[in-house]
């Protein structure tokens, strides 16, 4: 995750030689962006956790870079930052460069951030991570850009669209897949063949189940590519050079009309 560093890094060139000056040009943790390479960006290296390289730690230590972790326990994040010379401050402190939080910040807190302070959540990023909000945004995109550009299986938000779901169920009895709107890691997901199997006590998504998915040697799989959005206006997106492929531990039982894909995924 790139983090724009404190402005005093730009003044390194004017420091005396006996102050152990860090080279701006060739340090593995520094990249320069913007016009005439004016904006210093700190690049984190995962291997620093193991190597404990003092050359990597010196950037954070020299410029007194700090972080705080709020409402979460991110041991990996803490290890990465410590390995790069960051020091941790109290969760209530306002003197930090990076805040890593397990929840979304209130607007008034976002307005207090300085140019040198970064957080790990953009305002309203749950519009993409909550299934109900993502569904509604896809519907908006379908109206704007067409169904073909934003195609998803037929989906309903229950209980609000229960009548519409029952009407579709009468034409296609399933199976259908049920997912909580704000859960993860497959928790609370189940298949149904009858609307009576659904609990309407909380908001859920019901989608037409894809019974002929693309498979690798009869195993279901997914592919994840990781991106980092550092700005929405202008839009700046970093795509991580490695990805992740996951396969199910058991073969898909339904062998009817399924597509097969036998390839080696290399990232």
Over residues 233-260, the pLDDT tens digits come to 888 898 989 999 989 888 887 544 444 4
Radius of gyration of the chain (CA): 24
Residue 126: its pLDDT value, please?
84
d(CA 201, CA 118): 38
Distance CA 236, CA 133 (A): 23
When mean pLDDT is compared across 42-51, 118-127, 154-163, 246-255, the lowest value belongs to: 246-255
pTM score, whole prediction: 0.63
pLDDT digits (tens, 9 = 90+) for 11-31: 444 444 434 444 445 788 888
Determine the pLDDT at residue 173: 83
Spatial distance between the Cα atoms of 249 and 246, rounded to a whole number of angstroms: 9
Q: Does the pLDDT at position 265 exceed 80?
A: no
pLDDT band at residue 207 under the 50/70/90 scheme: very high
Higher pLDDT, 230 or 136: 136
Nearest-5° Cα angle at 87, 84 to 88: 125
pLDDT score for 22? 47
Q: Which residue has the higher pLDDT, 195 or 185?
A: 195
What mean pLDDT value characterizes the chain? 83
- pLDDT score for 34: 67
pLDDT at 192 over 70: yes
137 or 186, greater pLDDT: 137
State the pLDDT at residue 94.
94
pLDDT exceeds 90 at position 88: yes
CB 59 within 8 Å of CB 29: yes
**Long-range pairs, 215-218, Cβ under 8 A, ≥24:** 215/252, 215/258, 215/259, 215/260, 215/261, 216/247, 216/261, 216/262, 216/263, 216/265, 217/251, 217/260, 217/262, 218/251, 218/252, 218/255, 218/258, 218/260
pLDDT at residue 156, rounded to an integer? 95
Higher pLDDT, 7 or 122: 122
Asked whether residue 100 carries a pLDDT value surpassing 80, the answer given is yes
Rounded CA gap, 74 and 120, in Å? 12
Which of 13-27, 76-90, 215-229 has maximum average pLDDT? 76-90
Q: Which helix (H) or strand (E) holds 39?
A: strand 39-42
User: How many Å apart are CA 168 and CA 171, to the nearest integer?
Assistant: 5
The per-residue pLDDT for 64 is 94
Q: Which residue has the higher pLDDT, 112 or 174?
A: 112
Is residue 125 a contact partner of residue 104, using CB atoms and an 8 Å limit? Answer: yes
- Number of Cβ within a 10 Å radius of residue 104: 15
């Amino acid at each position: 995750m790139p983090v724009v560093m404190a402005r005093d890094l730009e003044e390194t060139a004017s420091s005396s030689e006996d102050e152990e000056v860090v080279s701006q040009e060739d340090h593995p943790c520094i990249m320069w962006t913007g016009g005439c390479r004016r904006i210093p960006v700190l690049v984190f290296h995962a291997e620093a956790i193991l190597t404990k390289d003092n050359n990597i730690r010196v950037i954070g230590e020299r410029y007194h870079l700090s972080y705080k972790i709020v409402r979460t326990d991110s041991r990996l994040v803490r290890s990465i930052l410590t390995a790069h010379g960051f020091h941790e401050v109290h969760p209530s402190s306002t003197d930090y460069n990076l805040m890593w939080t397990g929840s979304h910040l209130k607007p008034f807190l976002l307005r207090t951030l300085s140019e040198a302070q970064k957080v790990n959540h953009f305002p309203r990023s749950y519009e993409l991570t909550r299934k109900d909000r993502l569904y509604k945004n896809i519907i908006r995109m379908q109206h704007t850009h067409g169904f073909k550009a934003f195609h998803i299986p037929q989906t309903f938000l229950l209980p609000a669209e229960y009548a519409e779901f029952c009407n579709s169920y009468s034409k296609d009895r399933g199976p259908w897949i049920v997912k909580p709107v704000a859960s993860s890691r497959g928790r609370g997901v189940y298949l149904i063949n009858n609307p009576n199997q659904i609990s309407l006590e909380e908001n859920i998504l019901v989608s037409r189940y894809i019974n002929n998915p693309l498979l690798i040697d009869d195993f279901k799989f997914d592919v994840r590519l990781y991106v980092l959005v550092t700005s929405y206006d202008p839009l700046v997106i970093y795509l991580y050079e490695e990805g992740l492929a996951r396969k199910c531990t058991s073969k898909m039982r339904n062998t009817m009309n399924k597509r097969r894909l036998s390839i080696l995924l290399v990232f």
